[in-house]
Chains A and B, each alone.
Chain A
Amino acid sequence: MRKLRYAAAPALLALCASVAGCQGGQPASASGGGTFTTIDEYHSIKPGAPMNPFNDSGSAFLGYDEMRLGWFKYSPTDNNAFWPGVAASWDVQDNGQKVILHLQPKGGWSDGKPLTAQDVKTSIAIAFTQGTAQSMNLGTVKAVDDKTVECDQIPGQNNATFLHQLLGTVIVPDSVYGSQLPSDIWSTIAASQYTGNDQAKAAAATKAQSTLTALGKKIAAFAPQKDVSAGPFVIQGINPGEAVLDKNTHFYAVDNVHPDKVVLRNYSGNEQIWGYLESGQLDFAPYTAMPTNVLNQILAEKGNQRVDATSYVAAALGFNESVKPLDSVDVRRALAEIVDRSAVQKVGEPVSGTASKYTTGMIDSVVNDWMSTADISKLKTYDHNTADAAKLLQQAGLTKGSDGKWRLPNGQPWTLDVWTVNGFSDWIAAAKVISSELTSFGIPSQPKMAPDYATYQEELAKGKYPLGFWLIALGPDAYSTFARIYGEPDGYNVVGDKVVHYPASAQDKGNWIGGPTSYQVPGGGTIDPGQVTYQLSHVPVAQQKDLVTKLALVTNDQLPVYTLWNYINVQFVNNTRFTDFPSGDGALNNSPGVWMQLGYVKPKS
């Protein structure tokens, strides 16, 4: 009886194991490439979602079964640096007005059909229904032959992001999606592009735009019966929580792809990813915020390895300049000097990367790429200096009372809360440190939390928070980087290819920074930061340096935001089952599906 009792526990475990079957990352088999188990960072798998890349919740996985014309190399200074995707190569002509795409000669879909120019034409027509083709000012698309497509910008437009956006187009099979489009789609697209003064044509354009929008909705909700992929993998099975993808033998570079299968796990929170990593089940995982003890446990698991890449994101404090006394640049500078960035950055480690050296609107590591040594020397570093901060506040008319607390010029007490979002652990930890530093300095402050990010965004846009956390430098390209400050947050919107500025008082327009529309550039001249930012989307990369330098100098001098730290893109790989993971920036910033297309990720022998 006793023996039976002792045998019960292992027997129970054995039963569990037999029912559970083989779990976790499966070993690379001797005969093939094995199963690569991972998580799609941007894509949780949802019940009832269609296998459609145009649906926001759709089950299509970038780099695996969802293909683009090319894969961006994440170069901060060359927005047009791409690896081949569905397009094997491309010629840029007429100063970037025309792009000739040469499709992969061996390209084929997983159902055996060849990849043709018609697939690209259909995909681009769909891009018009999704609004993405309009944002690159795409005009006409012509199939030159079965494997060549010519794309032209709308005459008169000069969009510097044309090639970048074009190569980012998602390519879907005409055999599946073609039937969703009406036969007159191209005449509808042409009609929608009219911008002249002819009233009849303008009315037709409005009607055509409505037709495209309606088509966009229809296509986004479309649910194909099965997955047809031009990528290295194709969905074999999917359920609400897991997708299994088999190798696509018709993929143009199938010899580059080593794993036989990819299993994509769902995740609904950080804890799931921690659990998978701690048990060594994932061959790759993106970073999620985690306490140090969890990080240590993950790294203690056999084969787990941390891989760092550049993150083109920085954490900053955004000032609402329509709230006094934050309209004073001296006050903003004083606040910058009160905050000890190195102390703040430490509480967000390891993801918080490095404490910011400069506030330029960009991440520190690209400052050298864009600015000359002479211009960099003009940048202020706002080192922690409370004595200087006190002087700056006095200069702005604030006074320190006998109770040690600062008062506004009108004699009212000054309090300044730091706003963050529930669940954003690095922001919350940093907000506590900043509030404590402000309070010690004599500015009573508390960390405050919006219940979730949706609420935070809405209330921020309405100007409800004088001081709040904000992600900036969402690059790597210069236009996206500065649009994060001198775009919608500062009231600048692109309406019909023109930049329109809304004041902070127009609360539904999202201007919560409330900065002026004219800045004095240190060293001479004035600029409208919103206009200059928009210019970045229209001038070639080679001519952007001067504009970037002006914006960086102005941002550093006027501090509409104050950069706290530069994030770092921490990822995890497990080298127990696979080896030869990429190590440099660029590839690492793409999905492992792209790594495999490039020949990385080999089964361990």
Chain B
Amino acid sequence: MRRLALRLGRRLLGGLVMIWLVSTFTFFIVHALPGDPVQVQYETLLARGVPPDQAQHQVSVMYGFVPHTSVWHQYGDYIFGLVHGDLGQSISYTGVGVGHIVLAAAPWTVVLVLTGIMASFLVGVSLGVLAAVRRSSRIGDLLSVSGSLLHGIPQFVLALLLLYIFSTQLAIMPYGAPYDASYSPGLNWPFMQSVISHAILPVAAYALSSYGGWLLTMKSSVISVLGDDFILAAELRGLRGITVMRYVARNAILPLFTILALSIGFMFGGSVFIESIFDYQGLGQMLLSSISARDYPLMAGAFLLITAAVIVANILAELVYTVIDPRVRRQA
């Protein structure tokens, strides 16, 4: 137990160092981008018919949110704020806290991608076992082909197809918002129903495009485990088929847990296409709009969250692996 705690401590420390390194790197990358947020807003105001002098005066308020000290000074402020839990103020939201904006967008990405990943994982793993066990039958072949096919179709193509069929042509599925704004958010059926209906297409796009990967990985993992000596021993000892399958599944699924944990970490950054196509206002969309507005603090905040999620997921994956696989635990 003490060894586990030590291991956890080391990992957390390593994770913090990694977050600092990555946030430093992204800070300088973000600030190296050409473009001026104030000029972007000035042009936007002119395009809306605001007279040039008025536009110039108007952006002066926004100008106050753009740091004008040296990049190193700004970096110092950024790290100081970070240590104190302050991600700074957004430029394009004229002074609203970055933490507030990120927290407003993150839940929708979590709902969308977590559901998508879990759905694809469960379906993919179950069908992967079936495809491995029935690998010599037509069902096995069919499942493998479907997995390869769907895995090969880019996510955005699948998303566009679903959107076109169900929202544009048949017009039976909503998109463009996480729920119908007429409903009050809370634990009430109309609201939940609205959230579900708005999430069906993006989740389906996510799940359909990624279940093939799970299926094929699980299939090859099961086939590999099926050839292990301990399975042969179990069969020779006359254990029931379901027990043998349990042994197979538990061992075959181990490598997939690591991928699952990493997928969850990457979900914040990987949601850009799906959110963009379905106009689902999560972190991916927020990141895109912050880049076009050159909102440096918001970009840095979004990147930080993505980085932290990946690193935390990595640590969790390692810990979970230690818990579920006695061989790794012994080595540790």
Residue numbers of A with Cβ under 8 A of B are: 13, 16-17, 19-21, 23-24, 42, 44-50, 54-58, 72, 129-132, 134-136, 161, 164-165, 213-214, 216-218, 220-221, 223, 236-244, 263, 265-269, 271-272, 275-276, 278-281, 312-313, 452-455, 457-459, 461, 471, 474, 476-477, 479-480, 483-484, 487-488, 494, 537
Evaluate contact between B57 and A238: CB separation under 8 angstroms.
Answer: no
Given contacts A13-B172, A244-B182, A268-B285, contact A130 B58 (CB under 8 A): yes
Query: Are B58 and A131 interface neighbours, CB within 8 A?
Result: yes
Given A19-B197, A279-B168: A488 touches B52 (CB 8 Å cut-off): yes
- Name 28 interchain pairs, CB-CB below 8 A, sorted by A: A13-B172, A19-B200, A20-B174, A42-B48, A45-B281, A47-B108, A47-B282, A55-B95, A130-B58, A131-B57, A161-B53, A164-B51, A217-B95, A221-B93, A221-B95, A236-B181, A240-B104, A242-B176, A266-B279, A268-B285, A272-B176, A272-B279, A278-B168, A279-B169, A281-B171, A452-B291, A457-B43, A480-B49
Q: Which residues of chain B have C-beta atoms less than 8 A from A484's C-beta?
A: 46, 52
Closest to A537 in B: B53
- Which of B61-69, B130-138, B141-149 lies at the interface with chain A? B61-69
Indicate if the CB atoms of A165 and B289 lie closer than 8 Å.
no
Contact string against A for B residues 174-205, beta-carbon threshold 8 Å, 1 for contact and 0 otherwise = 11111111111100000001101100100000
Q: Which residues of the other chain, B, contact A129 by a CB distance below 8 angstroms?
A: 61
**Complex: chain B residue closest to A245, CB-CB:** B181
Contacts A217-B61, A272-B176, A452-B292 given; indicate if A21 touches B194 (C-beta within 8 A).
Answer: yes
**B289 near A44: Cβ-Cβ < 8 Å:** yes
Q: Which residues of A contact B61 (CB under 8 A)?
A: 129-131, 213, 216-217, 220
Of the stretches B1-9, B32-40, B233-241, the one at the interface is B32-40
Taking the closest CB of chain B, its distance from the CB of A376, in whole angstroms, is 26
Q: Would you call A458 and B64 a contact (CB within 8 A)?
A: no
B100 touches A16 (CB 8 A): no
**Is A72 within 8 A of B197, CB to CB?**
no
Closest Cβ–Cβ distance, residue B201 to chain A (whole Å):
9
Which of A161, A218, A242 touches B51 (beta carbons < 8 Å)? Answer: A161
With both beta carbons as reference points, the residue of chain A lying nearest to B46 in the complex is identified as A474
Q: Which residues of B contact A457 (CB under 8 A)?
A: 35-36, 39-40, 43
Asked whether B93 lies within 8 Å of A57 as measured between CB atoms, the reply is yes
- Taking a contact as CB atoms under 8 Å apart, the answer to whether A213 and B60 are in contact is yes
Point out residues on B near A: beta carbons under 8 Å: 33-37, 39-41, 43-44, 46-49, 51-54, 56-58, 60-62, 64-65, 89-90, 92-96, 100-105, 108, 163-164, 166-185, 193-194, 196-197, 200, 276-277, 279-282, 285-286, 288-289, 291-294
Chain A residues within an 8 Å CB radius of B285: 268
Q: How far is the CA of A236 from the CA of B182 in the complex (A)?
A: 7
Q: Is the CB of A56 within 8 A of B93?
A: yes
Give 17 A-B pairs besides A44-B289, A263-B181 with Cβ atoms closer than 8 angstroms: A16-B166, A21-B180, A48-B100, A57-B93, A72-B49, A131-B54, A164-B51, A221-B94, A237-B183, A240-B105, A240-B178, A266-B176, A266-B281, A279-B167, A454-B39, A457-B35, A479-B52
CB-defined contacts of A13 to chain B, threshold 8 Å: 170, 172
Q: A47-B101, A241-B279, A457-B39 are in contact. Are A23 and B34 (CB under 8 A)?
A: no
Give the nearest-CB partner of A454 in chain B.
B35
Report chain A residues within 8 Å CB of B62: 56, 220
Contacts of B54 in A (CB 8 A): 131-132, 135-136, 165
CA distance A50 to B92 in the complex (A): 12
CA distance A294 to B314 in the complex (A): 44
- B57 touching A267, Cβ below 8 Å: no
Give A17 to B172 CA distance when docked, in angstroms: 5
Which chain B residue shows the least CB distance to A268? B279
The chain B residue with its CB closest to the CB of A271 is B277
Chain A residues positioned under 8 Å from B104 (CB to CB): 47-48, 240
Tell me the complex Cα distance, A300–B194, Å. 30
A488 to B52 alpha-carbon distance, docked (Å): 9
The 6 closest A-B pairs by CB, nearest first: A454-B35, A241-B177, A48-B104, A131-B57, A221-B95, A240-B281
A58 surroundings in chain B (CB, below 8 A) = 94
Q: CB < 8 Å: which of A240, A268, A454 contacts B276?
A: A268
Whole-angstrom CA separation of A70 from B153 in the bound complex: 53
A47-B101, A454-B40 given as contacts; is B51 within 8 A of A165 (CB)? Answer: yes
Total A-B Cβ pairs within 8 A: 240
CA distance A405 to B246 in the complex (A): 77
Contact of A55 with B281 in the complex, beta carbons under 8 Å: no
A124 vs chain B, min Cβ distance (A)? 14
Which residues of B sit under 8 angstroms from A452, Cβ to Cβ? 35, 291-292
Bound-complex Cα distance A461 to B179 (A): 43
Q: How far is the CA of A413 from the CA of B161 in the complex (A)?
A: 50
A374 → chain B, closest Cβ, in Å?
Answer: 30
Cross-chain contact B41 with A135 (CB below 8 angstroms): no
Contacts of A483 in B (CB 8 A): 52
Interchain CB contact under 8 A, A279 and B166: no
Chain A residue nearest in CB terms to B194:
A21
B82 CB to nearest A CB, Å: 19
Whether A56 lies near B51 (C-beta < 8 A) is no
Residues of B within 8 A of A57 (CB): 90, 92-94, 96
B68 → chain A closest CB, angstroms: 13
Question: With a CB–CB cut-off of 8 A, which chain B residues contact A213?
Answer: 60-61, 64
CB distance from A594 to the nearest CB of B (A): 13
B94 close to A46 (CB less than 8 A): no
B281 touches A221 (CB 8 A): no
Given contacts A216-B61, A217-B64, A474-B47, contact A21 B93 (CB under 8 A): no
Specify which chain B residues have a CB less than 8 angstroms from the CB of A494 in the assembled complex. 53, 56
- For residue B286, which residues in chain A have a CB less than 8 angstroms away from its CB? 46-47
The docked-state distance in angstroms from the alpha carbon of A279 to that of B178 is: 19
Residue in chain B with minimal CB distance to A462: B34
Residues of chain A contacted by B176 (CB below 8 angstroms) = 241-242, 265-267, 272, 276
- Which residues on B sit within 8 Å (CB–CB) of A132? 54, 57-58
- How far does the Cβ of B275 sit from chain A's closest Cβ, in whole Å? 8
Q: How far is the CA of A270 from the CA of B172 in the complex (A)?
A: 21
Question: Considering the chains assembled together, what is the distance between the CA atoms of A132 and B169 in angstroms?
Answer: 46
For B166, the chain A residues whose CB sits under 8 A away are: 16
Q: Which residues of B contact A458 (CB under 8 A)?
A: 34-36, 39
Among B96, B104, B169, residue most surrounded by chain A Cβ atoms (within 10 Å): B96
Of A132, A214, A537, most buried by chain B (CB within 10 Å of CB) is: A132
Please determine whether B177 and A266 come into contact, CB atoms closer than 8 angstroms: yes
Whether A20 pairs with B94 at a CB distance below 8 angstroms is no
- What distance in Å separates the Cβ of B282 from its nearest Cβ neighbour in chain A? 8
In this complex, the member of B53, B163, B180, B289 whose beta carbon has the largest number of chain A beta carbons within 10 angstroms is B53
Q: Are A48 and B172 in contact (CB under 8 A)?
A: no
Which residues of A have CB within 8 Å of B65? 217
CB nearest neighbor in A for B35: A454
Provided the pairs A23-B174, A132-B54 are in contact, do residues A239 and B100 lie with their beta carbons within 8 angstroms?
no
In the complex, the chain A residue whose C-beta lies closest to that of B280 is A241
Query: For residue B63, which residue of chain A has the nearest CB?
Result: A213
Residues of chain B with a CB closer than 8 A to A134's CB: 57
Tell me the complex Cα distance, A580–B168, Å: 26
Q: Is there an interface contact between B96 and A221, defined as CB atoms closer than 8 Å?
A: yes
Report how far A269 CA is from B272 CA in the complex, Å: 13
User: Does B174 contact A238, Cβ atoms closer than 8 Å?
Assistant: no
Which residues of chain B are near A24, meaning CB under 8 Å? 171
Given the complex, which residues of B lie within 8 Å of A135, measured CB to CB? 51, 53-54, 56-58
What's the nearest-Cβ distance from chain B to residue A175, in Å? Answer: 22
